[in-house]
């Protein structure tokens, strides 16, 4: 009986081994590529229409704060909040932001990590419960043109301000734990391989060129290693502070529907008169010549040129026009991360398509229309086709980046290994199709409704208003000009949109992938035979 059982066990093991070996040598059945599938848009007879916002926006959708300029580099703002639902009645709120529109900030990610370490130290030293709650509400955010600190607290605003402003005192970072800062920055680099920041940086390198300021001033590993030198962080801190224009937005808990424009002005005036501001905020010198963070016209003017304006510059694959797919090899990963984009600075061409007053709008009109048309989540063409119809991804999205030093359109998403070739080809096909066939007026109306609704929602909350105001400062637009551009999309004809698409998507797209090269390369070559795969480093 024992011998029979052993033979039976051996037989099972052998059978299982053959199954495993068979699985290892089974070919992967990759997804077939298909022509693009387009959604149908029908007009509902009883559906309400969303009217374009005009310059005479009602008080509840006010897009301009009450402002008091306290120095050449510092302005305070308060909002005339009329709807009590948009404001917390128990907390005061501060939004403090520094802007640098004429140049990219250097290594803002390092400063944000240093501020976080400083906040932890301050919180550990504080034992008063009401102040401790304030520390817990402090948040830091950064972009390549701004650094923001926000805070919500039941304490009076005059008690909150020293905490916020104190992070920019010269000695505030002198005694933080540098090793913790370095460790967290290195950890963020590894986490970025999974969150997408790694491929995003590699994509910008190929699209804009490695020497573009946006690629030089983020994830700087040389600086991270050099933070042991006492002066490095201090120099970065001071130089960043001194190059920025500063804006302080505030809202008090009692600024509800019983208040009006005059009460908001009184709040700003009282702050200007009663608060003792740091000397570095109140200075007036020629170094800060750009008013309210808007673009200057002096020695920094070359920074505003399009990254592909110089034919001899390191501008990635845009001028080369070779159909190249750049691949970061990540063995044993179970999905492929995809980025596909175009530089879209087409000011000269786009203006000729439109009649006044639309002809005065900037070149981002095509970029800002095509991004939601193809990639506005559930209702965009890419999501409908590549997810809902064909099941190639969990999500595919589009964004228009209209930054001071570059403007580009890109699409991003992840897909399974077996879907890699079909997924990439699907995105490429849709960007070509929109230049070849006119889009129905109903679909254009759907995009315009989406954008106008998005803007109205942002105007209904304080954070949205502040973010919109800052974007306008960085782009040099007024609030009315920004709204005119959204409204202009609503009046585009199918032929005008097709011409904008031709100009916006006329060059060969830059494509960057992160995935297992051995498992996906053959399929990509079969689906996109005219494209060459080139392996690149993630750094």
Instruction: State residue 159's pLDDT score.
Output: 85
52 is a domain residue: no
Contact of 464 with 458, CB cutoff 8 Å = yes
Instruction: State residue 271's pLDDT score.
Output: 63
22 is a domain residue: no
DSSP helix, strand, coil percent of the chain (3-state; round to 5): 50, 15, 35
Element (H, E) at 16: helix 2-24
**pLDDT-based confidence at 441, cuts 50/70/90?**
very high
Contact of 246 with 74, CB cutoff 8 Å = yes
User: Residue 257: which residues within 8 A CB-CB, separation 6 or more?
Assistant: 81, 82, 83, 84
18 is a domain residue: no
153 is a domain residue: yes
| Domain end point (choices 249, 270, 293) | 293
In terms of domains, do 263 and 345 share one? Answer: no
Instruction: State residue 489's pLDDT score.
Output: 87
Dump pLDDT digits (tens) for 204-233: 999 999 999 998 888 888 888 888 887 899
Name which of 36, 35, 40, 34 is nearest 379 in CA terms: 40
Name which of 346, 354, 359, 360 is nearest 495 in CA terms: 354
Q: Report the distance separating Cα 437 and Cα 74, nearest Å.
A: 50
Alpha helices in 250-357 (DSSP H): 261-274, 279-282, 347-351
Q: Report the distance separating Cα 102 and Cα 94, nearest Å.
A: 25
Residue with tokens 């801190």: 237
Contact of 105 with 217, CB cutoff 8 Å = yes
In terms of domains, do 270 and 343 share one? Answer: no
Contact of 79 with 249, CB cutoff 8 Å = yes
- Output the six-digit token pair for 469: 């105001």
Name which of 259, 291, 251 is nearest 96 in CA terms: 251
DSSP assignment of 439-467 equals PPHHHHHHHHHHHHHHHHHHHTSHHHHHH
3-state class (DSSP) for residue 437: coil
In terms of domains, do 336 and 234 share one? Answer: no
Dump pLDDT digits (tens) for 36-60: 999 888 777 777 666 655 444 443 4
Percentage of residues of the chain with pLDDT beyond 90? 44
Contact of 367 with 409, CB cutoff 8 Å = yes
13 is a domain residue: no
Dump pLDDT digits (tens) for 218-276: 888 888 888 888 789 999 999 999 999 999 998 765 544 334 444 445 555 666 666 78
Q: Report the distance separating Cα 196 and Cα 339, nearest Å.
A: 10
In terms of domains, do 196 and 99 share one? Answer: yes
| Domain end point (choices 278, 293, 308) | 293
Identify the domain containing residue 470 by its residue range. 324-536
In terms of domains, do 370 and 459 share one? Answer: yes
Dump pLDDT digits (tens) for 130-143: 777 788 899 999 99
In terms of domains, do 281 and 374 share one? Answer: no
Contact of 375 with 397, CB cutoff 8 Å = yes
Q: Report the distance separating Cα 366 and Cα 496, nearest Å.
A: 10
16 is a domain residue: no
40 is a domain residue: no
**What is the CATH classification number for the domain harbouring 529?**
3.30.830.10
In terms of domains, do 250 and 337 share one? Answer: no
Name which of 118, 75, 142, 145 is nearest 234 in CA terms: 118
- Output the six-digit token pair for 301: 């003017």
In terms of domains, do 328 and 285 share one? Answer: no
| Beta strands in 301-380, from DSSP E residues, in sequence order | 324-329, 335-343
261 is a domain residue: yes
Which residues are 538's β-sheet partners? none
Q: Is 347 a residue whose pLDDT tops 70?
A: no
Q: How many domains does the chain have?
A: 2
Q: Taking the C-alpha atoms of 384, 386, 391 and 393 in order, what is their torsion angle to the nearest 10 degrees?
A: -110
Name which of 359, 499, 376 is nearest 439 in CA terms: 499
**pLDDT-based confidence at 2, cuts 50/70/90?**
very low
Overall pTM surpassing 0.85 (yes/no) = no
Dump pLDDT digits (tens) for 272-313: 666 788 888 987 654 444 333 333 322 232 223 333 333 334
Q: Is 352 a residue whose pLDDT tops 60?
A: no
Instruction: State residue 208's pLDDT score.
Output: 93
In terms of domains, do 70 and 193 share one? Answer: yes
DSSP assignment of 103-118 equals SPPS-HHHHHHHHHHH
In terms of domains, do 206 and 287 share one? Answer: yes
In terms of domains, do 127 and 262 share one? Answer: yes
In terms of domains, do 278 and 334 share one? Answer: no
- Output the six-digit token pair for 247: 């804006």
């Amino acid at each position: 009986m024992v011998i029979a059982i052993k033979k039976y066990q051996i037989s099972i093991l052998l059978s299982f081994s053959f199954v495993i070996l068979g699985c290892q040598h089974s070919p992967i059945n990759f997804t077939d590529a298909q022509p693009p599938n387009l959604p149908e848009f029908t007009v509902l007879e009883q559906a309400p229409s969303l009217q374009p916002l005009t310059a005479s926006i009602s008080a509840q959708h006010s897009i301009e704060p009450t402002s008091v300029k306290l120095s050449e580099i510092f302005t305070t703002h308060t909002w005339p909040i009329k709807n009590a639902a948009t404001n917390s009645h128990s907390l005061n709120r501060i939004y403090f932001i520094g802007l640098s529109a004429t140049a990219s900030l250097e290594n803002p990610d390092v400063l944000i990590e240093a501020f976080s370490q400083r906040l932890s130290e301050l919180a550990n030293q504080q034992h008063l419960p009401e102040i401790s709650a304030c520390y817990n509400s402090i948040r830091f955010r950064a972009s390549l043109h701004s650094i923001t600190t926000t805070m919500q607290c039941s304490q009076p605003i005059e008690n909150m301000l020293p905490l916020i402003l104190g992070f920019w005192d010269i000695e505030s970072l002198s005694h933080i734990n540098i090793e913790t800062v370095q460790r967290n920055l290195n950890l963020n680099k590894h986490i970025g391989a999974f969150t997408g920041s790694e491929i995003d940086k590699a994509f910008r390198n190929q699209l804009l060129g490695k020497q573009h300021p946006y690629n030089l001033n983020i994830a700087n590993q040389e600086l991270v290693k050099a933070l042991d030198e006492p002066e490095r962080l201090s120099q970065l801190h001071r130089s960043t502070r001194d190059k920025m224009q500063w804006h302080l937005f505030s809202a008090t808990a009692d600024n509800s529907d019983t208040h009006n424009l005059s009460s908001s002005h009184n709040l700003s005036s009282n702050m200007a008169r009663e608060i003792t501001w740091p000397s570095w905020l109140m200075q007036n010198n020629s170094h800060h010549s750009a008013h309210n963070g808007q673009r200057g016209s002096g020695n920094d003017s070359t920074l505003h040129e399009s990254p592909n304006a110089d034919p001899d510059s390191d501008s990635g694959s845009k001028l080369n026009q070779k159909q190249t797919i750049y691949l970061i090899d990540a063995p044993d990963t179970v999905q492929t991360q995809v980025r596909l984009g175009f530089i879209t600075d087409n000011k000269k061409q786009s203006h000729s398509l439109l009649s006044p007053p639309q002809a005065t709008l900037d070149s981002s009109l095509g970029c800002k229309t095509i991004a939601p048309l193809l990639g506005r989540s559930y209702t965009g063409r890419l999501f409908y086709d590549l997810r809902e119809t064909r099941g190639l991804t969990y999500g595919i999205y589009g964004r228009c980046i209209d930054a001071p030093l570059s403007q580009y359109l890109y699409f991003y998403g992840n897909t399974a290994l077996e879907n890699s070739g079909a997924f990439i080809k699907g995105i490429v096909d849709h960007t070509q199709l929109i230049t070849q066939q006119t889009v129905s007026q109903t679909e254009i109306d759907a995009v315009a409704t989406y954008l106008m609704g998005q803007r109205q929602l942002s105007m209904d909350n304080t954070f949205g208003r502040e973010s919109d105001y800052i974007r306008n400062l960085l782009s040099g637009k007024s609030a009315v000009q920004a709204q005119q551009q959204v409204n202009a999309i609503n009046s585009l004809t199918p032929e005008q949109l097709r011409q904008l698409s031709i100009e916006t998507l006329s060059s060969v797209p830059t494509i960057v992938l992160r995935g297992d090269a051995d498992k996906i390369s053959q399929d990509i070559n079969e689906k996109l035979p005219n494209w060459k795969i080139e392996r690149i480093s993630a750094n």
